[in-house]
Amino acid sequence: MASQIQDRLTTDQDLLLMQEGMMMRKVRTRFWKKLRFFRLQNDGMTVWHARQANDIAKLTFSISDVETIRKGHDSELLRELMEEFPLEQGFTIVFHGRRPNLDLVASSVEEAQIWMRGLQLLVDLVASMDHQEQLDQWVSEWFQRGDRNQDGRMSFGEAQRLLLLMNVEMDQDYALRLFQTADVSQSDTLEGEEFVHFYKALTKRTEVEQLFEHFSSDGQKLTLLEFVDFLREDQKEKENARDLALELIDRYEPSENGRLLHVLSKDGFLRYLCSKDGNIFNPDCLPVYQDMTQPLNHYYINSSHNTYLLRDQLCGQSSVEGYIRALKRGCRCVEVDVWDGPGGEPIVYHGHTLTSRILFKDVVATLAQYAFQFSDYPLILSLENHCTWDQQHTLAQHLIEILGEQLLSTTIDGVLMDKLPSPEQLRGKVLLKGRKLSTIEADIEDIDEEEELEDDQESELDADPFPELDALLQPESQELTSGNKHIKKDSATILCPDLSALVVYLRTVPFCSFTHSKENYYICDISSFSESKARHLVKEAGNEFVQHNARQLCRVYPSALRTDSSNFHPQELWNAGCHMVAMNMQTPGSAMDICDGFFRQNGGSGYVLKPEFLCDIQSSFDPERPVSLYKAQLLLVQVISGQQLPKVDSTKEKSVVDPLVKVELFGVPEDNKQQETSYVENNGFNPYWGETFCFRVQVPELAILRFVVKDYSWTSRNKFIGQYTLPWTCMKQGMALASTQLPSLCISACGKTWRRMNPEKHEEGLQSRKIYRSIIPSNLQVSQNPEPTKGSIKDQGSQRLGKDA
């Protein structure tokens, strides 16, 4: 595939013109619009820009960073400038992860089309690369970076500099030996395949080879029977192991002759370990695998708080992009705060703050376009209504006219049911959550759910069970303004019947007590809780909260003090069966890592079926004092090695990382544990840890496992490098890959492979189930602007242990 890119660079007319470069206007805001010269580099993988064609250029982005290309009409920012620049001349580059979009305006429609077609072609080619093609491209990029004089050959001096860029601090004599071994032409330079051999020598995985040789009789290949033995013994593939072995050999063996003979080479074995079939995340849990025909209140629902905000809660930008990003993450409950706007058009913003305003109809149009692109299961629109009667009528009109058939406006089959409909019954539908005029009981108090105030005593009791993940939580007593619990009423708002009629199954009601809810509310009623209120209920009445959540839906939202859009840890609320734990999705961090890792399962549908004991209205489960329905289990994790970890400070060519791995377990309070390896000094290229940890898990159905790679520092806080999170129930048996997910500033990928065995019971009453041995394989996925970290290597044949390991 890398060769396909090179072929297209010389034949595709669009790519040829992009390599010549063009002046385009880079647009950041309505007021920042500057001309820049953009050019596709000869590698076909990077775009650089400069003020003028002959000025010093700098890297703008890598093609591997790009997710898609949007037309100018789809850019909120470019639409605001349509009177200044024709939308046909503009386009938007959307990046993976949290990197902001790049809006560009070309000099003509034709030039815009050239860049849109060319970039999308390159993005499609990169997306279709398999592991070997990614590796080939990776090696090619490193050669281009190391060849400073661009003569197509690499001297030993250039190779030494390249090692520093790759985060390798290698003994010079040892590096020279590797260089001379690869230099088969004895020209004192490396070319083509010689550099490939040099790179393979650097990335040799002694621990993987030892495993391979353990099952291989000749040390060169795995026969079909030997590979079957590996699958049965290490991967725990008891059934159909032979058929699976044939399938995997056909898929990952690079040699045609090997495929014909049904044997697997070392390269094929490594390709298998680095593939989706070797991932720690059980592939059976990646598609929709759960029963989606149960009532809505039997599911956790991926939820967002103040979805329209891109930054903080006081001065942040409001944008429809917030909804697009949340939906891409699998969010199925988005929030809209609507207020009266000028010209009779309702607006969306965080009321009584300096956040910017956007039109409600633009939000609804965005939801109509993106609601079911990433999941076709129901989308819940949580409406915080602050509008007067007339503009509420406008709200209803926009919802009906823009969403059309997507909007659920009547009950399923036109009749009320004694239970909520299922996600399957509601596929492709938008459900409005909000206040509703009642004919069953007296009018419900008109409240803004997120202005509920709590008493000081309640907040002071709300200790934080997750101090590390929730370090930003301020004392919640500050958000209290009254010693008496009460509800702030919006007396100016009278509910419009047209808007009320659109609320079918999700009527918001105030929470008074569990007894009151049980006696007065219905299956379609939903209450919202602040994080401190919900935590207090978990601690003081955990079992009642579980039963309440088994009976009807609930939503939990962040504290009003989180003006920086920080997040609380969702695990404690999931333990009590809370369905919609709303997150500030614009803010990265450990809390969002947990949320993203948990909702990755079940097809990323945004719906995860709760354990049975959280769906039973007679459940005796108390998350603070759990009694597991099954025997406790043991988790053994052996962290072995790593390779090509990213630099923490990529601006310093000689920077070094001292990596360590922290293994964190989350669940009920007594399952919250963490352990970490020793650090490996000066080696981010191929660190070796070889340490084993044991965790006792009381309620595995609620457990989540997180692996964090950090750079040790004795003078300051350890710096984050990457992480991987997944639910206990989705862990795969046997040796499996787990590519760490890195923050947007990190520019390389690191992978982990976890080998799971089934040892005998370690103590009476404990059922040993899941055990992993960790191997971090070579670079497994091409990430943004790859730049691995540097390490210290003296002899590839010796164990690479830090002095404290």
**Mind telling me the catalytic residues?**
305, 350
DSSP state of 560: T
Using CA atoms of 57, 60, 63, 64 in order, give the dihedral in degrees to the nearest 10: 120
DSSP string, 286-354: SS--S---S-GGGEEE-EESSTTBSS-TTTPPB-THHHHHHHHTT--EEEEEEE--GGG--EES-TTSS
Report residue 738: phi and psi, to 5°.
-140, 95
- Both structure tokens of 609: 């079926």
DSSP collapsed to 3 states, 592-606: HHHHHHHHCCHHHCC
Cα–Cα distance between 103 and 15 in angstroms, integer?
20
* Cα distances (angstroms) measured from residue 428 to each of 333, 401, 435, 712: 14, 16, 23, 48
What are the residues whose beta carbons fall under 8 Å from the beta carbon of 174, sequence distance 6 or more? 793, 794, 795, 796
**In which order are the strands placed within the sheet that holds 736-740?**
688-697, 632-641, 766-775, 750-757, 736-740
Cα–Cα distance between 399 and 385 in angstroms, integer?
14
Cα–Cα distance between 726 and 286 in angstroms, integer?
11
DSSP string, 142-210: HHHHH-TT-SS-EEHHHHHHHHHHTT-EE-HHHHHHHHHHH-TT-SSEE-THHHHHHHHHHT--HHHHH
**In this structure, are residues 363 and 387 in contact, taking their beta carbons and an 8 Å threshold?**
no
Cα–Cα distance between 665 and 675 in angstroms, integer?
9
- Which of 773, 775, 747, 784 minimizes the C-alpha distance to 686? 775
Cα–Cα distance between 517 and 552 in angstroms, integer?
9
Cα–Cα distance between 750 and 778 in angstroms, integer?
8
Cα–Cα distance between 677 and 687 in angstroms, integer?
11
**In this structure, are residues 687 and 800 in contact, taking their beta carbons and an 8 Å threshold?**
yes
What are the residues whose beta carbons fall under 8 Å from the beta carbon of 3, sequence distance 6 or more? none
Alpha helices in 465-521 (DSSP H): 497-500, 514-520
DSSP string, 29-51: SSS-EEEEEEEE-TTSSEEEEES
What amino acid is encoded at 753 in this protein? Answer: T
